[in-house]
Amino acid sequence: MRAEDRKLLDATPFARGIGTETTERLVRGAFVQSMPRDTVLFLEGDMPEFVHLVLSGRVSLEASDARGRSTVVEIFRDGQLFILAAAILRKPYLLNARTLAETRVLMIPADPFRALLDEDPRLARALVDQFAGYWRMLVRQIKDLKLRSASERLAAYLLLHADTRRRSDSFRLGEELRVVAARLGIAPESLSRAFVALRPFGVSSRGRAVAIADIAALRAVSGFDEVE
Amino acid sequence: MRAEDRKLLDATPFARGIGTETTERLVRGAFVQSMPRDTVLFLEGDMPEFVHLVLSGRVSLEASDARGRSTVVEIFRDGQLFILAAAILRKPYLLNARTLAETRVLMIPADPFRALLDEDPRLARALVDQFAGYWRMLVRQIKDLKLRSASERLAAYLLLHADTRRRSDSFRLGEELRVVAARLGIAPESLSRAFVALRPFGVSSRGRAVAIADIAALRAVSGFDEVE
DNA sequence: CGGTTGTTTGAGGACGTTCAAGTACTGTGG
DNA sequence: CCACAGTACTTGAACGTCCTCAAACAACCG
């Protein structure tokens, strides 16, 4: 493991949660894999052999149906562990994983990981917090899907990426719009139209570049206030 | 705590996972609350004061938007712990909780629970498994919402409640149809129509009573095969 | 600079919602 | 056990949202 990668790892909340010694044991037997954009890490139905941690880049968790339509459940970034559940429960993955950019992933073999989980209380305790955060992440998305329209979801998504302490903000979306659409659960064309629908509320966009004129106004459009 | 309740508790996978001694410490300071149908346990935005475990009955986790429309995120039944995340992270609830029937709930005060979590490795380890299961539960629902139509979701929901080892099955849905509709993310009227749409595929229903003539055929309608 | 991929726009259609009305349950009190 | 009231469910009609298909346009990459 390169010193640079180790530094990335040590900086994650997770590594700090479990402490240096446990991190050290976790890293033993693990290796770093560097992969180009659009690499498939695993497919739905595969049995997990590794626990993955994104050191740099982005990984998208996707699902697709029989008709070949595909959607993005979540995107994991720097410093995030992902798809622990399957590895811990020894059950097949529910999702496909694919890189959205050049990505470096720490691959921790599942067997020693589970063994360490059973014997090291700090690891278990840190995972409880990790999973509690995941629960809230997914519950938010389910609320989004069930209670918000497409443009309300976009409004909420933009607010998530904006600096909401300011009155207005402009930024560039980290993902391609097609990926944002898949994450929001709508067709790319509908995302375009959702941007148009938000225009009267002070949102202007040219491709991935977005400007929000009035954050408070956009929040009013987003349907309901997200707790915290 | 009544002996009867203790027996219910001891029978849960969770209690077995943490062992008698840890269960004992958990129960100390906890109490059982018996409540009629439609009792609100807490509201979105409240700060958690308890961790809840359903001893008998059913509790629905719900969300509603500014326009008053409401949806069911998940329903918890006998033996299940629910809404741990908020209590563990000391963050406000994302959901409302309401009983769907006469329900007995074990109320475990959050502070001692968190203290025990920090010092008892068995509790942390058991919660990791619990949360891993929750992750998969919610991921399944997100896949449902994003990839399946209303009648495909109903088909999948019925299959979940049927004895899929048999070729055909009939049963009575545990929840009112309005609650099932909210869980599936559709209007009650749409649920009625979804039942009609499944008729040609061997589903007959009269109110909550459902009969599936050909389980394999229904599975083909449900859109995609659920892993495991 | 040209090809490829990604985004926008338009038209038409499918799916699900809303509103309104009618029918069937369910539980309660007599 | 029945009648009745209240609630739950179903059906119809009209509407809205989002999807699909098709084509034009823009951005990106070598």
| DSSP 8-class letter at A199 | G
Q: CA-CA distances (angstroms) from residue A131 to A221, B20, B85, B205? A: 30, 25, 8, 39
Q: What is the pLDDT of residue B2?
A: 86
Give the model's pLDDT for residue A145.
Answer: 97
Task: Give the Cα-Cα-Cα angle A146, A147, A153 (nearest 5 degrees).
Answer: 95
Contact A59, A105 (CB under 8 A): yes
Q: Judge whether B63 and B70 are in contact, CB under 8 Å.
A: yes
The pLDDT assigned to B226 comes to: 79
Q: CA of A58, closest CA in chain B: separation in Å?
A: 19
Q: Mean of the per-residue pLDDT values for chain A?
A: 94
Assess whether B189 (CB) lies less than 7 A from strand D.
Answer: yes
Q: Could you identify the residue written with the tokens 């629960």?
A: A135
Q: End-to-end alpha-carbon separation of chain A, Å? A: 37
List chain A residues with CB under 8 Å of B224.
64-66
User: For chain B, which residues score pLDDT lower than 70?
Assistant: none
pLDDT in tens, A32-62: 999 999 999 999 999 999 999 999 999 999 9
Tens of pLDDT, residue by residue over A85-115, are 999 999 999 999 999 999 999 999 999 999 9
Which one, of B58, B60, B82, B57, lies nearest residue B72 by Cα? B60
Interchain CB distance below 8 Å, A63 and B147: yes
pTM as predicted: 0.95
Confidence class of residue A223 from pLDDT cuts 50, 70 and 90? Answer: confident
* Contacts with B94 from chain A: Cβ below 8 Å: 136, 139-140, 143, 227
Provide, for chain A, the percentages of residues in helix, strand and coil under a 3-state DSSP scheme, each rounded to the nearest 5. Answer: 45, 25, 30
Per DSSP (E only), the strands in chain A are 31-35, 40-42, 50-56, 59-64, 70-76, 81-82, 96-99, 103-109, 169-172, 203-206, 209-212
In the prediction, which pLDDT does B168 show?
94
Position B142 scores a pLDDT of 98
pLDDT value, residue B77? 92
- Residue A210, both tokens: 């977005």
